[in-house]
């Protein structure tokens, strides 16, 4: 199971780093909640547009590639559960990574389409300068496909992640502060079901006590060594 630290060495900032983290510099309730988006759709859309550019420009790091290579060598033996909204696991070869917090490159309608079920759904979106695309028929806006604070996780992803936690022999937790639930509960759940749990993180996390083993290293530094020879 991975968090933002997994992609830090690809140049994508984490959320809670005291200096560079998004939530150290910006207010999550303005930028990662439905209320925040409705209050300032243009400002929030532009912030996600910048993050999207960063994700598109980033490359998988040696940690992503180690996981991807293991999955290729041992089909069916590795399930990647990620809280990350980038697509670096997918590009490194874990195309079926379970995405608990959505996909930043995906657009969703903000509101349920009023025409769904009664004819053709809205499909005519266009962008004003720096504004989120808006449906020309009903005014509905597009929003980024990430899970915001106060929203439920996608049920299919959460169910698949819980099943993987219940069934795995080993859970490796990489680059997460363990501050956000329900993802933070998966390590304890796996341990409770009999898995051996290791955490890879250069710093302490809130779920360190769930681990049998703490590996004080970075994703790109530690994962290639951990998977070497397997």
List of residues contacting ligand OAD (CB under 6 A):
3-5, 8-9, 14-16, 21, 83, 85, 101, 146-147, 174-177, 179-180, 201-203, 205, 218-219
**Shortest approach of ligand OAD to residue 63 CB, angstroms?**
7
- Considering the complex, state which of residue 13 and residue 114 has its C-beta at the smaller distance from ligand OAD: 13
* From 64, 74, 89, 101, the catalytic residue: 101
User: Of 167, 164, 165, nearest to 210 (Cα)?
Assistant: 165
- Considering the complex, state which of residue 122 and residue 223 has its C-beta at the smaller distance from ligand OAD: 223
Q: Does the annotation mark 74 as catalytic?
A: no
**Shortest approach of ligand OAD to residue 123 CB, angstroms?**
27
**Residue showing the smallest CB distance to ligand OAD in the complex:** 5
* Bridge partners, residue 98, by sequence: 81
**Shortest approach of ligand OAD to residue 193 CB, angstroms?**
22
* Residue 225: both structure tokens together: 């060594």
User: Of 174, 183, 133, 132, nearest to 154 (Cα)?
Assistant: 183
CB 226 within 8 A of CB 200: yes
- Considering the complex, state which of residue 9 and residue 162 has its C-beta at the smaller distance from ligand OAD: 9
**Shortest approach of ligand OAD to residue 210 CB, angstroms?**
14
**Shortest approach of ligand OAD to residue 154 CB, angstroms?**
11
- Considering the complex, state which of residue 114 and residue 202 has its C-beta at the smaller distance from ligand OAD: 202
- Considering the complex, state which of residue 122 and residue 190 has its C-beta at the smaller distance from ligand OAD: 190
Q: Which residues are known to be catalytic?
A: 101
């Amino acid at each position: 199971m991975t968090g933002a630290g997994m992609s830090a060495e690809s140049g994508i900032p984490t959320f809670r780093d005291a200096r560079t983290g998004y939530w150290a510099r910006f207010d999550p309730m303005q930028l990662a909640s439905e209320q925040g988006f409705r209050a300032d759709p243009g400002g929030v859309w532009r912030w996600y547009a910048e993050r999207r550019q960063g994700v598109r420009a980033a490359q998988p790091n040696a940690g992503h590639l180690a996981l991807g290579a293991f999955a290729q060598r041992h089909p069916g033996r590795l399930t990647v559960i990620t809280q990350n909204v980038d697509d670096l696991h997918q590009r490194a070869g874990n195309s079926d990574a379970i995405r608990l917090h959505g996909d930043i490159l995906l657009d969703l309608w903000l509101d349920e389409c009023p025409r769904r079920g009664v004819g053709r759904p809205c499909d005519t979106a266009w962008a004003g300068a720096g504004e989120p695309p808006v449906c020309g028929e009903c005014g509905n806006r597009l929003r980024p496909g990430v899970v915001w604070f106060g929203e439920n996780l996608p049920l299919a992803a959460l169910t698949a992640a819980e099943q993987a936690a219940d069934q795995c022999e080993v859970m490796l937790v990489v680059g997460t502060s363990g501050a956000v639930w329900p993802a933070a509960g998966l390590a304890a759940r796996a341990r409770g079901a009999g898995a051996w749990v290791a955490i890879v993180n250069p710093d302490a996390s809130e779920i360190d006590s769930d681990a049998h083993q703490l590996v004080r290293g970075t994703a790109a530094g530690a994962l290639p060594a951990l998977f070497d020879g397997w």
